[in-house]
Structure 1
Amino acid sequence: MARERATALLVDFDGVLRCWDPAVAAGVEREYGLSEGVLSEIAMQWGRLQPVLTGQVSHADWMTSVADALAGPAGGPERARAAVEQWQRYRGEVDGEVLDFLREVRAAGLPVGLATNATDLLDADLAALGLESEFDTVVNSYRLGVNKPAKEYFQAACQAVATPPDRVLFVDDEDWSVRGARAAGLSAHRWSGPGDLRYLRAALAY
């Protein structure tokens, strides 16, 4: 039996709507004599990342811990702090095709929620990128205290769009997150780029 088309959309932020130019971090690393990829490598270590995604520490605290770990390779704590600060000034870029799609879905009367593992900087980032009014709801793991791919996260996200899980379509660029959503009863699609939009339109009831 075919699954009914979804009547609500949840979309991930980083890697779907917000894109990052890797040249920015690479430029900072070259300027400070750091090995390629080290900023993200340190920042994304799960033991350092998970606390900031669940509201245990602030974004500022997280970046301080990155700078502390970087102090040796950077040639001292002051240079490490400067490198991290410069890296963090860049807040990514919006994929215009994805944004147009989200607006199209909302205009058709379907609720659209942002469902992301993020920090306490999310609201400021949305404002800086002009996105603060583009969603019916924002589900931020930092505020929720639990992160994707936990079932509790997706239950809360479905409640936020006031739609049963089996009528919600979730879009994310990470396999583990997509698997978590499916385990929680949602339809889920792994994002690979704007070429997926045709499929997503077909999966939504509008």
Structure 2
Amino acid sequence: MTIEAVLFDADGVIQLPTVDWQAALESSVPAGRPAGEFVLDLMASEAPSVAGKADFREAVAEVLARWNVTTPLEQVLGLWQRFEADPDAIALVQELRATGVGCHLATNQQAYRRAIMNDQRNYGAWFDRSFYSCDLGVAKPDPAYFKTIVAAIDLPPTAVLFVDDNQANVDGAREAGLHAEQFHLSSGLPELRELLQSYGLLS
């Protein structure tokens, strides 16, 4: 079946961090405490808010208190703002949209970061529709995430291609019946173009 829509992940596919966030987080940990475990604790605390089931700001505050971190909450949260969209990736999305193929953002984000992407930086202007996990109430790689999206865009899964840098998410999309491929910006945009061409998209 012809591909009628492409779902693009955000982090690693159309945007990248502008700071070594892990090193920045680890530098906040009091001396003598395992900084790596602190970062893992923060990442785990984020998961419920990514699925829209908790408040991210409150979760981070609880972790900072648990680890006796004195870095101000707003300073830590600021690390989640340190990212930029790749202009060439966005240009490629616009090129694909111009051919009539639906291009949608499909990303795992908590509401704090969704507000930055969607409200402050107007990511929605680059896509036909945007699907944030915190709004859907389910996150990748759960196949239900993808089933919710294909129902919303009213297409059969076999008419949709999903592109993500995380193999687990690719596997989840395939389980839901979508075509799915792994790609990271570090591979270069020519590889993404070739990937799209392999599905009969772009020239």
1:126 aligned onto 2:118: yes
What is the CA-CA distance between 1:165 and the residue it aligns to?
A: 0.6
Query: Any gaps of 5 or more consecutive residues in structure 1?
Result: none
Given that residues 41 and 63 in structure 2 are in contact (C-alpha distance below 8 angstroms), is that contact kept between their aligned partners in structure 1?
yes
Determine helix, strand or coil for the equivalent of 1:89. Answer: helix
1:51 aligned partner: 48
Normalised TM-score (structure 1): 0.81
Contact 1:52 1:59 in 2 (8 A): yes
Alpha-carbon distance in 2 for matches of 1:60, 1:98: 30
Q: CA deviation at 1:123?
A: 3.1
How many Å separate the matches in 2 of 1:55 and 1:174? Answer: 21
Change (3 A) 1:27 1:52: closer
Residue 140 of structure 2 is aligned to residue 140 of structure 1 = no
What is the distance in 1 between the residues matched to 2:28 and 2:65? 18
CA drift of 1:37 comes to 4.9
Offset of residue 60 of structure 1: 1.4
Aligned residues: 193
Q: Find the residue that maps to 1:44 and give its secondary structure.
A: helix
Distance 1:27 1:151, change over 3 A: closer
Identity within the alignment, %: 28
* Aligned counterparts of 1:190 and 1:14: Cα–Cα separation in 2: 12
Evaluate the alpha carbon distance shift between residue 57 and residue 86 of structure 1 in structure 2; reply closer, same or farther with a 3 A threshold. Answer: same
Root-mean-square deviation (Å): 2.3
Contact 1:113 1:135 in 2 (8 A): yes
Q: For 1:79-118, what aligned pairs fall within 5 Å after superposition?
A: 79-80=70-71, 82=72, 84-90=73-79, 91=81, 92-118=83-109
Matches within 5 A, 1:40-79: 40-45=39-44, 48-71=45-68, 74=69, 79=70
Gaps of 5+ in 2: none
Q: 1:102/1:38 Cα in 2 relative to 1: closer, same or farther (>3 Å)?
A: farther
* Greater Cα shift, 148-157 or 56-65: 56-65
